[in-house]
Structure 1
Amino acid sequence: MPGRHCPPRRREEGRKETTDLKVIMGASSIFRNVYDLDTLDTRFTVSSNTPYKTVIEARNDATAASKERAAKWNSRLSSSSPSPSQSKSRWNTPEFYLYYVVFILAVPYMFWSAYDASKPAHPNYRNYERYLSPGWIPGRRIDVTDSQYRTFRNNIPYLAALVVFHPLFRRLYNAVVYRIQSGGQASRPTLEEADQRLNQRASFDFGFAMIYLVALHGVSIIKILAILYLNYQVATALPRKSIPIATWAFNIGTLFANELGKGYKFRDIASLLWGFLSGGLIDDSNSSLVHWGAWLDGYSGLMGRWEILFNITVLRLISFNLDYYWSLDRGSASPVEKKQLDPSSLSETDRISTPAQSKDFSFRNYVAYAIYAPLYLTGPIITFNDYISQLRYKPASLETSRTIRYAIRFAFALLSMEIILHYDYVQAIAKVSPRWAEYTAAQLCLLSYFNLHLIWLKLLLPWRFFRLWSLVDGVDPPENIIRCVSNNWSTLAFWRSWHRSFYRWSLRYIYLPLGGSSFSSLRDAARSVLTYVLVFTFVALWHDIQLNLLIWGWLVVFFMLPEMAAGSLFPKRSWERHPTSYRMLCSAGAVANIFMMMMANLVGFAFGVDGLRSILAGIFQHFTGYVFLAMACTVLFVGVQVMFEIRESEMRRGVNLKC
């Protein structure tokens, strides 16, 4: 009967609805995959003690025998991973429905306040208008007053070309010089094949490093290679017991010398030399030696001030020296053979801790590592042992699909930065030393808040771009940033997740050699605080030799103390019968922590001590400032509850990032 049949039009509408639903579900799945922790870095979802090759085997095995092997690996993975959290999800509870309402109201207001303070109608607009540039969003100008981001933004087309042509150039080099055709290698190459791969990649990295340095820094390559050679001699020519002290002395001295010498201009060197030769009796203005030095300074490449970004190279120089120093203890037997490990499938922990072979500590490999093009300018930082291991055996974590998703995620972050800079002019506002009293308390707070987000984004983008280049080239360095700056409430955890590769480097080469930390006794607590002070003093000086950053480093340590004290005074085990009360107590402490972290970072990277003092004075000069502060505390309290639940959700999946 006709009534039992669906009319053609209705069938078409049903198919269309099904298709639309599939498109929506597909887009949602892609979005989830792009923002999955595994896309960001496999280190976040797999234990650092687990070879990633076993994860792939467990994922891909299909036969009955393989399933048994996969189950064995899965049990091993679960035993090496943190236990899933037993807590129930709170996302669909009345408590969190209330939090969603707060978010719906607060987040648009935050964006509106920053936008309202940046409108042309604001009295301060005419003071900073000259710093704004034409934007690509119709009717809006863009604030690119920050020199770091402006430099990165202007060079994106050239950097994108490097990401494409550098790996292609490597393949051409392999095909011509080593007769290696692209198409991969055996799943488990022999030791001879692995050594050949190391030799081929290190030779290319060394040669490309020379070309790269000349293009970036011109004749200043002489100065850079001189520093590298002297550091290499510190490691290989001095007595073994002198290497650590000499390494730290040389490299910290290099940081200060680069700052004071302003890159060692050839003209200044020639002037000093002329003064020595002439005894200071003859003016150097007509000296041919000084003119020749000035002429050389004119060939300084694309980035004449090479010393500004050399700090990241200093970390690699220290890594090489100390990895070499520790390798002298290994004896004649190979650690890989002792532990009966598969050298082609090492975990990240084994790649870092297993010393490279004696022959690997050559000057060629050292320069190839220190000036590895994708990571030379900004990092992320990778240790020498890890670099050599990845040159010898391609990491199993390098998968094309993941790299594509990582690239999409980078593009979204770049788009976010561009949109914010079109509507929030906080950087231009701060540049003209404004009268903060002209802004409301809400505007002052939210301009400061967005300034921290812009600092976060301007660092995240280069770090992720250069890591993307490295992934495309076949080296997997650690991800530098795990959390959004708005998803941090703990000072200790913030340090672990911000510039993560530097944090891990600091652990290996400073924190652990100094004895780590322990608060079991007053004496141990005092020693631990001193350890933190030494670590953050180096971190501050490494960033830049400025008082603001030194104060920032000490403030970070100072603000860690209340959190450590609270953890001792209110241990979680004592509140097991009152989990909700404990969660609320932790949230209140977290709000205070967030304010302290904001102040420390605003001092170190934004306004300085005087600027922060002016902003605080502007906030508290009227009663409305206190009212807004109470509202801000409420919103932050809600935000912290969401942060807690995000981490609980990760724990339920067996992921514990400790940050």
Structure 2
Amino acid sequence: MAPNGSRKGGGILSFFRSLYDLDTLDTRFTTPSSVPYNPVALAAAGDGNGKRREDNHSRGGNSGGLDKRASSSDTNRPRWGTPEFFLYYLVFAMVIPYMFWIAYDVSRPSDPRYYKYHRWLSPGWVPGRKIDVSDAQYGNFRRNLPVMALLVLFHPLCRKVWDTVVYRVAAPSQSPLGSGRSSPAGRPPASPEMADARLRQRTSFDFCFAILYLVILHGFSALKILAILGANYQIATVLPKKYIPAATWVFNICTLFANELCDGYRFRNIAMLVSADSSLLARFGAWLDSYGGIQPRWAVLFNITILRLVSFNLDYYWSLDNRGSSPIEKQLDPANLSEKDRVAIPAAPADYSFFNFVGYAIYAPLYLTGPIITFNDYISQQRYKPATIETARTVKYGVRFFLTLLSMELLLHYDYVGAISKANPDWSSYTPAQISLLSYFNLHIIWLKLLLPWRFFRLWSLVDGIDPPENMLRCVSDNYSTLSFWRSWHRSYYRWLLRYIYIPLGGSSFATWRGAARSIVTYLMVFTFVALWHDIKMRMLIWGWLIVFFFLPEILAGYAFPRRRWENRPTAYRMLCGVGGVLNVLMMISANLVGFAVGLDGLEVILRKVLGDYSGLIFITVACSALFVGIQVMFEIRASEARRGINMKC
């Protein structure tokens, strides 16, 4: 019995360890973007971790390869068992429980300020505790989660019925390359005819389900959304080629502002504009407004769709210069393209149809929150099922989502930081430690409330057969670089910005003063769009400009303290980088508190309280020391990844 029990226990432990493997989260983290994912070769590579990732790296590409830091002897020596890191473990053992205790202590009913915010609490499922549901965004997600979970089952079932009743694709006959051998991904070969049939089968369902989905979600407002999509499609396909990019940006940015200023274009207001004297038409418009679906405020949710409208138009525009290109002409297997090729290689001219455009723009699993996928990638994955979608990985991804949801629920049952902030508190009644940790946990709740919808809808997409990018690479507490933080937060949006704004504007280079000035302007333009895309408010513009301002010290420090000058003193350089990382973390916390939590005035009050007396200075000194320890652990996490051939660039 003992041996069996040991094996069983090892199996359970191995399963839970695999839940947090990078492959479970997203294969893009372990396979270079320029290399097709090959599960057969990976399985044959052996251990599933270091060896297979090194093999992936050896096949090409920089995005998943070793970082230059991995070549140094200091990086190649693990530090987990050194006396230095045993000291860090001791710090972790003392500091982390203390942090949770501080937030819990001010969240107890015995706290004298409890009466100010208890109205934001609701009965919870943890015995003896209420739950903080003050955040409307998470509260809405939490209430609708059971219905959405049923939808994850209902949508693929509808697709199965559609496939059976409307389309029946014949069995595959030959590979896309014309030979009878299996594809490199180890899947049955598929002919180009089969791939085209699969594309028609899936996109026809996506189009029909999109119309039904819009009507259920937004009622008669679905007509407004389809009108915007129609206008955007006409810009891409009717205007002369040279006008497409400018017209696309003007139209979509104006749509962002118009959606906000016109409150979703109420039918009654439109009727009054058409005929101010017609009360009958106005009443009819009001009747249409009364049937707004289960999400009447469609304009609030439309920002993510704007990104897909831009993606379609610019992908179509760039395809006009590559009409003759195809994967086969480039001697690539279209059934197993790398992610880079799926994004860069244009779809066939016939694929840029209004029918496919609507199916893409309103693709149900990703419509509300993303993650964002380009039109070219969407069409490629519809034509050939990605090799990265495997049932075992999808199940583990679902379990990981559930554990993240459980973490959020427990945090909201024991730390009422959102409710405290919502109740317009008197911050002067809190100690510097309480203010700082309430702000810190507030950022974690913001991170979790965004992470959960993104992962839920990505899970739905994986179940349906589309593999979009994972939006969150690391925990919000596992970031020490402002530049890397931006790459890892809302990653699919970051990649969208690179493809459609940052690279067309020329990217950045700080090698010369002229290049540095141009790069700063580029960053300001990118983050101005980012801020306005999130919300048309001044505090969001301030947040965007603060992000750019906080980029500069890190960039300048990289030039002032280049790694090559410290090759003989790697430990000293690591400590120096740790100090810089502490400053970065403090700046990132400040910027995100302004943008997403307390605003500029609230940050000013917090800083005045924390830095205004002796006890506050003592606390900030201790906090910076703890951050330094945490950053050293972050360095080692990334060094461990580099030793396995992984560079996530964040």
Within a 5 Å distance, the mapping from 1:31-430 to structure 2 comes to 31-52=16-37, 54-60=38-44, 76-77=58-59, 81-83=64-66, 85-86=70-71, 87-180=76-169, 187-275=188-276, 278=277, 287-331=279-323, 333-430=324-421
- The separation in 2 between residues aligned to 1:537 and 1:407, in whole angstroms, is 35
Cα deviation, residue 58, structure 1: 4.7
Letter matched to residue 373 of structure 2: I
Letter matched to residue 22 of structure 1: R
| Compared CA separation, residues 548 and 295, structure 1 to 2 (3 A) | same
Greater shift, 426-435 or 382-391, is seen at 426-435
Cα deviation, residue 290, structure 1: 1.2
Q: Structure 1 runs of 4+ off > 4 angstroms?
A: 70-76, 78-81, 180-186
Gaps of 5+ in 1: 1-14, 63-69, 279-283
Cα deviation, residue 357, structure 1: 0.6
- The separation in 1 between residues aligned to 2:334 and 2:382, in whole angstroms, is 12
Quick one: which of 619, 630, 641 aligns to 1:628?
A: 619
Quick one: which of 586, 599, 602 aligns to 1:608?
A: 599
Letter matched to residue 384 of structure 1: F
- The separation in 2 between residues aligned to 1:132 and 1:184, in whole angstroms, is 61
Contact 2:173 2:190 in 1 (8 A): no
Residues 348-392 of structure 1: CA deviation (Å, up to 9, x unaligned): 000000001100000000000000000000000000000000000
SS at 1:187 equivalent: coil
SS at 2:604 equivalent: helix
Cα deviation, residue 122, structure 1: 1.6
Letter matched to residue 212 of structure 2: I
Letter matched to residue 256 of structure 2: L
| Compared CA separation, residues 109 and 184, structure 1 to 2 (3 A) | farther
SS at 2:335 equivalent: coil
- The separation in 1 between residues aligned to 2:494 and 2:54, in whole angstroms, is 33
Contact 2:129 2:413 in 1 (8 A): yes
Cα deviation, residue 123, structure 1: 2.1
* Identity across the alignment (%): 61
TM-score normalised by L of structure 2: 0.94
Show the counterpart of 2:559.
568
| Compared CA separation, residues 97 and 223, structure 1 to 2 (3 A) | same
Contact 2:54 2:644 in 1 (8 A): no
Show the counterpart of 2:180.
none
Answer yes or no: is 1:26 the counterpart of 2:11.
yes
Contact 1:174 1:181 in 2 (8 A): no
- The separation in 1 between residues aligned to 2:620 and 2:55, in whole angstroms, is 52
Show the counterpart of 2:181.
none
Show the counterpart of 1:281.
none
Letter matched to residue 368 of structure 1: G
- The separation in 2 between residues aligned to 1:506 and 1:224, in whole angstroms, is 23
Cα deviation, residue 187, structure 1: 1.8
- The separation in 2 between residues aligned to 1:463 and 1:79, in whole angstroms, is 28
Answer yes or no: is 1:471 the counterpart of 2:462.
yes
Letter matched to residue 330 of structure 1: N
Contact 2:32 2:60 in 1 (8 A): no
Show the counterpart of 2:537.
546
- The separation in 2 between residues aligned to 1:246 and 1:184, in whole angstroms, is 45
| Compared CA separation, residues 310 and 148, structure 1 to 2 (3 A) | same
| Compared CA separation, residues 21 and 513, structure 1 to 2 (3 A) | same
| Compared CA separation, residues 401 and 269, structure 1 to 2 (3 A) | same
- The separation in 1 between residues aligned to 2:208 and 2:94, in whole angstroms, is 56
- The separation in 1 between residues aligned to 2:61 and 2:226, in whole angstroms, is 47
Contact 2:170 2:194 in 1 (8 A): no
Cα deviation, residue 34, structure 1: 0.1
- The separation in 1 between residues aligned to 2:238 and 2:191, in whole angstroms, is 33
Contact 1:240 1:325 in 2 (8 A): yes
Residues 14-64 of structure 1: CA deviation (Å, up to 9, x unaligned): x43x44433432222111100001100000000111111x343452599xx
SS at 2:275 equivalent: helix
Cα deviation, residue 73, structure 1: 7.2
Letter matched to residue 464 of structure 1: R
Quick one: which of 466, 470, 483 aligns to 1:492?
A: 483
Cα deviation, residue 295, structure 1: 1.0
Contact 1:131 1:143 in 2 (8 A): yes
| Compared CA separation, residues 624 and 576, structure 1 to 2 (3 A) | same
| Compared CA separation, residues 349 and 449, structure 1 to 2 (3 A) | same
Residues 249-280 of structure 1: CA deviation (Å, up to 9, x unaligned): 000000000000011111111222222xx4xx
SS at 2:131 equivalent: strand
Quick one: which of 420, 435, 444 aligns to 2:426?
A: 435
Cα deviation, residue 182, structure 1: 11
Letter matched to residue 307 of structure 2: L
Contact 1:171 1:182 in 2 (8 A): no
- The separation in 2 between residues aligned to 1:612 and 1:184, in whole angstroms, is 64
| Compared CA separation, residues 44 and 608, structure 1 to 2 (3 A) | same
- The separation in 1 between residues aligned to 2:517 and 2:330, in whole angstroms, is 38
Gaps of 5+ in 2: 47-51, 175-186
| Compared CA separation, residues 25 and 334, structure 1 to 2 (3 A) | same
Cα deviation, residue 72, structure 1: 13
SS at 1:378 equivalent: coil
Letter matched to residue 124 of structure 1: R
Letter matched to residue 150 of structure 2: A
- The separation in 1 between residues aligned to 2:141 and 2:55, in whole angstroms, is 43
Letter matched to residue 36 of structure 1: D
Within a 5 Å distance, the mapping from 1:492-571 to structure 2 comes to 492-571=483-562
Greater shift, 627-636 or 289-298, is seen at 289-298
Contact 1:175 1:181 in 2 (8 A): no
Show the counterpart of 1:4.
none
Give the count of matched residue pairs: 626
Letter matched to residue 43 of structure 1: R
Letter matched to residue 82 of structure 1: G
- The separation in 1 between residues aligned to 2:57 and 2:639, in whole angstroms, is 22
| Compared CA separation, residues 330 and 585, structure 1 to 2 (3 A) | same
| Compared CA separation, residues 227 and 125, structure 1 to 2 (3 A) | same
Residues 211-232 of structure 1: CA deviation (Å, up to 9, x unaligned): 1000100000010000000000
Larger Rg: 1
| Compared CA separation, residues 187 and 414, structure 1 to 2 (3 A) | same
